[in-house]
Amino acid sequence: MANILTEIINHKKTEVAQLKTITDYDLNNLESYRVKNALACSFYDALTCDGLSVIAEIKRRSPSKGQLSEINSPVELALQYAKGGANAISVLTDNKYFAGDINDLSAVSNMLKTTDHKVSLLRKDFIIDPVQIIQAALAGANAILLIVSVLRERTADLLQVSTKLNLDVLVEVRDIPEIKMAVASGAKIIGINNRNLNTFEVNLRTSCKFIQYIPDNIVKVSESGIHSPVDAKLMQSVGFDAILVGEALVTADNPTDFIQQLKSN
């Protein structure tokens, strides 16, 4: 699995170049792409309610585990998540490595607008260019993921683009220098990824070790490797406001019940 992140980003650059050939977005008029009928529940608000918030992920496969679940209907799975009390839903839209699609995001957004569930929507992808952020807004996302290890100093620039589009941003980090970079970029929500994106190995101690370096006024999310209510309780006990859960949910017999168990601490 070594260098898988480099491989993914190189392919993403090709994807973005292709996207630009079929779109004509005006980067000087970003506000025009704000979606007025986006889901009412902001991502930030979804993660700052009472108790531990759960970001439930729609994820078909991963480079490390291969196929996790076919998920023929992301809309049906999203509805199960919402019924379980998920505060937000993360939709993986990378196709080559995770078998996702931007149309999954649009479909879930359209479904949630027809329900009474107050759930926010995150586009999870390897975002490296403003056109992907515009695409996320037009597809109905409330938020996007920005990965500091990928973007480095460009994190701040893409965060500003997101703000102009009324999108919240989950800024992902792995160590102290990345936390400092995220804070300097103006991040309001920081996620510590327990998965090493170079090797895809997971260690929950990563979250426990680095949460102390995130300022108190920033929303804190623990990402990856959370497989049980015990794991969820641990993350809450050390100070996390939210957890992002993917693999354990898409492989669960009853995702609705599992989310309720994660939130029952």
Which one is predicted more confidently, 122 or 195? 122
What's the confidence (pLDDT) of residue 6? 92
pLDDT at 34 over 90: no
Token couple for 64: 């490390």
What's the confidence (pLDDT) of residue 201? 84
Q: How confident is the model at residue 196 (pLDDT cuts 50, 70, 90)?
A: confident
What's the confidence (pLDDT) of residue 173? 98
Q: How confident is the model at residue 202 (pLDDT cuts 50, 70, 90)?
A: confident
Question: Is 124 noted as a catalytic residue in this protein?
Answer: yes
Q: Which of 40-44, 79-83, 196-200 reaches the highest mean pLDDT?
A: 79-83
Domain 4-21+42-262, CATH number (from 3.20.20.70, 1.20.1270.10, 3.90.1150.10, 1.10.287.3510): 3.20.20.70
What's the confidence (pLDDT) of residue 36? 64
List 120, 172, 194, 247, catalytic entry:
172
DSSP letter (8 states) at residue 26: -
Q: Which of 211, 230, 209, 232 is nearest to 220 (CA)?
A: 211
Q: How confident is the model at residue 60 (pLDDT cuts 50, 70, 90)?
A: very high
What's the confidence (pLDDT) of residue 197? 76
Question: Is 223 noted as a catalytic residue in this protein?
Answer: yes
List 57, 164, 188, 263, catalytic entry:
57
Measured in degrees and rounded to the nearest 5, phi and psi for residue 172 equal -95, 135
List 87, 109, 193, 207, catalytic entry:
193
Q: What is the mean pLDDT of the chain?
A: 94
Radius of gyration of the chain (CA): 17
CA–CA distance, 214 with 44 (Å, rounded to integer): 16
Average pLDDT over residues 214-242: 97
List 62, 90, 120, 224, catalytic entry:
224
pLDDT at 2 over 60: no
What's the confidence (pLDDT) of residue 255? 98
Angle between helix 130-138 and helix 4-22 axes, rounded to 10 deg: 70
pLDDT at 133 over 70: yes
Reported as half-sphere exposure (CB side, CA atoms, 13 A), residue 179 has a value of 20
What's the confidence (pLDDT) of residue 64? 83
Q: Contact 127/96 with Cβ under 8 angstroms?
A: no
Question: Is 224 noted as a catalytic residue in this protein?
Answer: yes
Q: Contact 210/173 with Cβ under 8 angstroms?
A: yes
pLDDT at 192 over 60: yes
How many C-beta atoms lie closer than 10 Å to residue 220's C-beta? 21
pLDDT at 1 over 50: no
Average pLDDT over residues 29-50: 85
Strand bridging mode 66-67 / 61-62: antiparallel
pLDDT at 206 over 70: yes
Angle between helix 74-84 and helix 102-112 axes, rounded to 10 deg: 50
CA–CA distance, 210 with 214 (Å, rounded to integer): 7
Reported as half-sphere exposure (CB side, CA atoms, 13 A), residue 233 has a value of 7
List 142, 223, 247, 263, catalytic entry:
223
Handedness of CA 94, 18, 152, 42 (dihedral sign): negative
Which one is predicted more confidently, 38 or 251? 251
Q: What is the DSSP string of 20-62?
A: HHH----TT-GGGG--TTS-SS-HHHHHSSSS-EEEEEE--EE
Question: Is 265 noted as a catalytic residue in this protein?
Answer: no
pLDDT at 37 over 70: no
List 12, 124, 164, 188, catalytic entry:
124
